[in-house]
């Protein structure tokens, strides 16, 4: 199969890029970056707007007690 040199270049860049990405992923797992991810998900909550409270500007149904 005749592969043009430019395509070989592209394949080369892609393989290198994938290798770098894989290495980064392995590094991330090994240095524990992936262990504690849940606190990131909680970043949008705090004491004023805690998890479980429903925040919304207005309701179109019955008025709720804590949110509306």
Partner 1 sequence: MQPPAEEQAPDRLASRQELDRAAALPVLLYFGSGIAWLLAGTLLGVAASLKFDLPDWLGTIAQLTYGRIRPAHLNVMAYGWASLAGAGCLVWLTSRLCRVPIRRPEWLIASVLLWNLGVAYGALSILLGYSQSVEWLEYPLPAAGIIAAAFLLFASSILATFRARKVEHLYVSLWYIMASVVWFPPLYVVANLPIYTGVVHGAVNWWYGHNALAVWFTPVGLTLAYYFIPKVIGRPIYSYYLSLIGFWAFALFYNWNGIHHLVGGPVPTWLQTISIIASVLMVIPVMAVAVNHHMTTIGNFRMLRTSPTLRFTVFGAMSYTAVSFQGSMEALRTMQEVVHFTHYTVGHAHLGVYAFLTMILFGAMYYITPRVAQWNWTRPGWIKAHFWLSAGGVLLYVAAMVVGGFLQGLAMNDAAKPFVEVVDLTRPYLTARTVSGILMGAGHLVFALLFVEVVLRRGPRRLAPPWEAGGAG
Partner 2 sequence: MMFIRLWLFFAGVLATLFLGWAALVGVPGMQLASVAPQQGLRPYTYEQMHGRQIYIREGCAYCHSQQTRAEGFGSDQQRRWGRASVPGDYVYDRPHLLGTSRTGPDLWNIGARQPSRSWHLTHLYNPRSVVRESVMPPFPWLFVEKTEAGPEDVMLDVPPAFRPRAGVSIVATREALDLVEYLLGLDHTYPVAPGAGKP
Q: Is 30 in the site for partner 1 (CB under 8 A)?
A: no
Least distance between partner 2 and beta carbon 33 (Å): 5
Chain positions 20 to 39 lying near partner 2, rule: CB under 8 A, are 21, 24, 28, 33-34, 36-37
Q: What is the SS3 string spanning the chain?
A: CCCCHHHHHHHHHHHHHHHHHHHHHHHHHHCCCCCCCHHHHHHHCCCCCCCCCCCCCCCCCCCCCCCC
Binding range to partner 2, per CB under 8 A, among 9-17, 41-49, 51-59, 60-68? 9-17
């Amino acid at each position: 199969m005749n592969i043009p040199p430019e395509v070989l270049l592209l394949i080369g860049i892609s393989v290198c890029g994938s290798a770098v990405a894989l290495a980064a992923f392995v590094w991330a797992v090994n240095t524990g970056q992936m262990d504690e991810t849940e606190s990131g998900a909680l970043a949008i909550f705090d004491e004023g707007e805690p998890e479980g409270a429903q925040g919304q500007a207005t309701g179109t149904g019955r008025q709720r007690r804590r949110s509306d």
